[in-house]
A and B are shown apart, each in its own frame.
Chain A
Amino acid sequence: MTYKRLEVEKKILKIASKINQDVELGKFPKLEFPPNSASNIAFEEDVGYLFKPTYYTRVDGSHIKSVKTLAGLLYGMSRVVDHLKSGLTMTKRDFYYMHKVEKLKNTLFPKDQAETDSRIVQMELLLGMPREAFSIISDPRGWIYGDIELVDASGYTIRANRIGEMGYSIPPDPENIEFKRIGIKAVVAIEKVGPAKNMIELKIPEEYGLGIAILKGQPSRSMRRFLRMLSEQGVPIGILTDLSPWSIRIAATVIYNSISSAHIPGLAVPNAAFLGIETRDIEEGFFKDYQLALEDLTPLDIKAAKDNLKLPSLQGEFWQRENEWFLKRKKKAELEIFKAMSPSAKQLKELFVKYLREKIEEKLKVTI
């Protein structure tokens, strides 16, 4: 899955040369790539979203609407190669600004960043590789804390439990990470920073041989890629989120990837397991005496729950059952519920460990 800089350049050059040749022959250049439209995306429970191109978009240089796309792709690729050659990365925002130039005033000058963002997706589809491969990165988001030794693009050997209080910050392109040693039994990927930070502060990773991955909301592509790489190293991955219509999407994104990035392979972690919070934890399990701490669903939450009815990744029996609970109870639970169970710090560690132990045992078959 790793792309060498030279390979990327070669691929781009090949496309440019073909267009050059067409033009020299007096032919209108054409490009074809599979769009990431619904018809090209499949879903399979045990691998997640899959990009299965059956239908191709043709960018025809003799059509006024296509010619903008063609010019946009070529200009974008020329910027990318320029940055690759000098070993520089760019953000989506950078890419947007590269279009805010005088010479593109009547052509590619963008209305807003959405315009250049969708161009980036087209480049991913055309080149068949994630944008990180051609140096367009996102702002990094996500940390891993725990006994993992790795070497990344910086060339340094890093221990993810000796690199500050949050652990190792997942780089934008984790592709080049090389694992040296993995000393953990499992990783718990946690939606929220607060509870994850508490677990680190309570030394749970060290005492129970766990890795804590901090997602901070919807996980970034780099975080998902990193979890997949860990999973491929044989590390069991568990997911801990709120119990809300949005949070089951977060869990599903980790496990199955998402529609918008379905064309990027290697992002799904099919072996990952959803630890909780589950509805049965509320109804009859760990939190059954703490229903007072539930929050009401907002109208937006309800709408999200209704949308979930149609989301391909949530069609499984378990997910639908969970989702129905939202529509019926109109309630949600947040990870902060642990604080409702134990306003005093003393019992918190005990509660965390008890819950994690039960869940990891049940779902990951790992004993801590």
Chain B
Amino acid sequence: MSNEVKGKITSVDREELEEISPADFFYRNKALAGFDNPVKATYTIIRELVENALDACEEARRLPEVLIVLERIQEKDSSSNVESEVPTELYSLSVRDNGTGLSPEEIPRAFGQVLVSSKYKLIQSRGTFGLGGTMALLYGQITTNMPFEITSSTGGRIHKITMKIDIQANRPIVLGEQILGASIEPFTEVKLHFRGSYSRAKPKIMDYLKQTAMITPYANIEFRDPDGSFYLFERNARELPSLPKESLPHPKGIDLELLQRILKGTKARRLASFLQTEFQKVGRKTALEILQRANLDPTLKPKKLTQEQISALFRAMTSYERFLPPDPSILSPLGEKLLMAGIKKELNPEFVWAVKRPPSSVWGHPFLVETAIAYGGDITPTGKVQLYRFANRIPLLYDASSDVSYLVAKRISWDVYGIKSLEEEPIALFVHVVSTKIPFKTVGKEFIANEPVLAKEIELGWRECGRRLKAYLSGKNRVKRAISRYIAFKRYYDVIASSIEELTGKRPAVEELLRKLTPATVEEGRC
């Protein structure tokens, strides 16, 4: 989380700040994490736990089986709600995955503590806020004062641990531990209580699940809702995308705060070797050039730098122009095949094409864009641009019209590709951005900034899809024309046959002739 807290914090400011635990920080800043109100919180809790579950399965290299059960424990809350006007209800939520499972020793730390890593490695991660489900558990605890339960097996005994989080101390409090038989299949199930509003959050939750199913076509996702409905998003692919790899940060991708933390934690004893070992794309020559620019002695001890020296180093690093771009091989795109599978599965289009663009970089982080276009089938015109956005394999559901991809969609002249209007035709656009740091525009992390490099990649991707669509549409028109031509022929030959019959008393067998007019394309076009 720490690398998410932006802004320039000087040492003086830091001393004046009250020391609070990360858990306490989130408790005080719930809105930041998407818990502004009971409706949004209901959606966010499910979302955080589902993403956590998917991560667990993918890390275990297993095809995800995620079961979500939401139950209404108590209807309508009459007690006053300070945070919001929305009437809330008490729910229990359990989310189960088939990851590797956790041992009873690992569980308290994994779920009962807001973790701030001391390692500064870069990785493409799914979670919006890098918190896993802990924030969801925290929210449940805050709104109900009830403990939560983690049930898990690593392929043997099943342990159920009942626990709470000590918010001020940022520590797990284990309240009870039970053994519930054994399971050969490893799993983890998180169960918590919270106050929220499902009925009003439902449309968003369903959108989220549908789009998650789209971007994880290799997952089975089941959802049982409090109204007794059961939704199954069934997989149609059996291959997992590669796991993202960790890498060192790129010198262009850091902020001052992060630089200070890395300096504090490094094992390097000299500034020159610090730059070489803690960052990617920095060799000895580059390190010395940067230090020279910062007017710093390469033999200085990293841990002993003054604030002025740190600032000088930071300025030198960020203004240096000759770094190689960040290493893109650590990224894990979904791949064209899986993206198309996901779209087919959820939208059943008559045409779909996906294009993965080569990697590029923005803000010192590698990124790549996957785009797709789907046409027809279950997609029907809505009068709006149908744009599906994903970032690191999670759907983005809010503020579509502020997103860079929306701007790109609007600036492309689609008629070149046989589409007169995005709004009035059965066409859907898809964009998936993967990066070690998605260039979101706001802290809400719902839309991506209009970075020219990124915009260009999205445009190139869609244009390539567009060319495929155009070829498909013109082929489709060809088939259509062939069919209508055949029908016209048939009608005229009916007139010819009946006229000849009237003249000669015998109707010629025009059917034989018509069979000759049935080209392969016509037959194909019919099925």
Residues of A at the B interface (CB closer than 8 Å) are 12-13, 16-17, 19-20, 23-24, 26, 28-29, 61-62, 64, 67-68, 70-71, 74-75, 77-78, 81-82, 103-104, 106-108
Q: Which residues of B contact A62 (CB under 8 A)?
A: 517
Tell me whether A67 and B502 are in contact (CB under 8 A). no
Cα–Cα distance between A82 and B501 once the two chains are bound (Å): 12
Tell me whether A64 and B485 are in contact (CB under 8 A). yes
Tell me whether B509 and A24 are in contact (CB under 8 A). yes
Tell me whether A74 and B516 are in contact (CB under 8 A). no
Tell me whether B513 and A20 are in contact (CB under 8 A). no
Tell me whether A23 and B485 are in contact (CB under 8 A). no
Cα–Cα distance between A104 and B492 once the two chains are bound (Å): 9
Tell me whether A71 and B516 are in contact (CB under 8 A). no
Tell me, yes or no, whether B510 is within 8 Å of chain A by CB: yes
A70-B488 contact, Cβ under 8 Å, with A20-B506, A23-B508, A26-B513: no
| A12, A23, A70 interface centre (most CB from chain B within 10 Å) | A23
B471-524 contacts to A (CB < 8 Å): 485, 488-489, 491-500, 502-504, 506, 508-510, 512-513, 516-517
Tell me whether B499 and A78 are in contact (CB under 8 A). yes
Min CB distance A13 to B, Å, is 6
Tell me whether B503 and A16 are in contact (CB under 8 A). yes
Cα–Cα distance between A16 and B508 once the two chains are bound (Å): 10
Q: Which residues of B contact A26 (CB under 8 A)?
A: 512-513, 516
Tell me whether A16 and B509 are in contact (CB under 8 A). no
Tell me whether A82 and B513 are in contact (CB under 8 A). no
1/0 per residue, CB under 8 A from A, across B114-147: the answer is 0000000000000000000000000000000000
Chain A residue with the shortest CB-CB distance to B511: A23
Tell me whether B503 and A71 are in contact (CB under 8 A). no
Tell me whether A12 and B489 are in contact (CB under 8 A). no
Q: Which of A24, A64, A77, A81 contacts B489 (CB 8 A)?
A: A64
Interface secondary structure of B, over-half rule: helix
Min CB distance A111 to B, Å, is 16
Chain A residue with the shortest CB-CB distance to B513: A23
Tell me whether A70 and B504 are in contact (CB under 8 A). no
Tell me whether A20 and B508 are in contact (CB under 8 A). yes
Min CB distance B115 to A, Å, is 73
Q: Which of B495, B503, B506, B509 contacts A108 (CB 8 A)?
A: B495
Chain B residue with the shortest CB-CB distance to A75: B499
Q: Which of B488, B489, B503 contacts A13 (CB 8 A)?
A: B503
Min CB distance A223 to B, Å, is 33
Tell me whether B516 and A16 are in contact (CB under 8 A). no
Cα–Cα distance between A137 and B311 once the two chains are bound (Å): 105
Q: Which of A68, A78, A106, A107 contacts B503 (CB 8 A)?
A: A78
A23-B492 contact, Cβ under 8 Å, with A16-B503, A71-B499: no
Chain A residue with the shortest CB-CB distance to B495: A71
Q: Which residues of A contact B504 (CB under 8 A)?
A: 13, 16-17, 20
Q: Which of A23, A68, A104 contacts B509 (CB 8 A)?
A: A23
Cα–Cα distance between A26 and B516 once the two chains are bound (Å): 9
Q: Which of A13, A70, A81 contacts B496 (CB 8 A)?
A: A70
Cα–Cα distance between A24 and B500 once the two chains are bound (Å): 12
Cα–Cα distance between A64 and B517 once the two chains are bound (Å): 11
Chain B residue with the shortest CB-CB distance to A9: B503
Q: Which of A24, A82, A107 contacts B492 (CB 8 A)?
A: A107
Tell me whether A71 and B500 are in contact (CB under 8 A). no
Min CB distance B17 to A, Å, is 82
Chain A residue with the shortest CB-CB distance to B486: A64
Cα–Cα distance between A26 and B510 once the two chains are bound (Å): 8
Tell me whether A74 and B496 are in contact (CB under 8 A). yes
Tell me whether A82 and B502 are in contact (CB under 8 A). yes
1/0 per residue, CB under 8 A from A, across B60-81: the answer is 0000000000000000000000
Q: Which of B488, B489, B510, B517 contacts A23 (CB 8 A)?
A: B510
| A26, A28, A67 interface centre (most CB from chain B within 10 Å) | A67
Tell me whether B496 and A71 are in contact (CB under 8 A). yes
Q: Which residues of B contact A19 (CB under 8 A)?
A: 496, 500, 508
Tell me whether B493 and A16 are in contact (CB under 8 A). no
Min CB distance B517 to A, Å, is 8
Cα–Cα distance between A346 and B439 once the two chains are bound (Å): 109
Min CB distance B242 to A, Å, is 54
Cα–Cα distance between A17 and B508 once the two chains are bound (Å): 10
Q: Which residues of B contact A71 (CB under 8 A)?
A: 492-493, 495-496, 499
Chain B residue with the shortest CB-CB distance to A108: B495
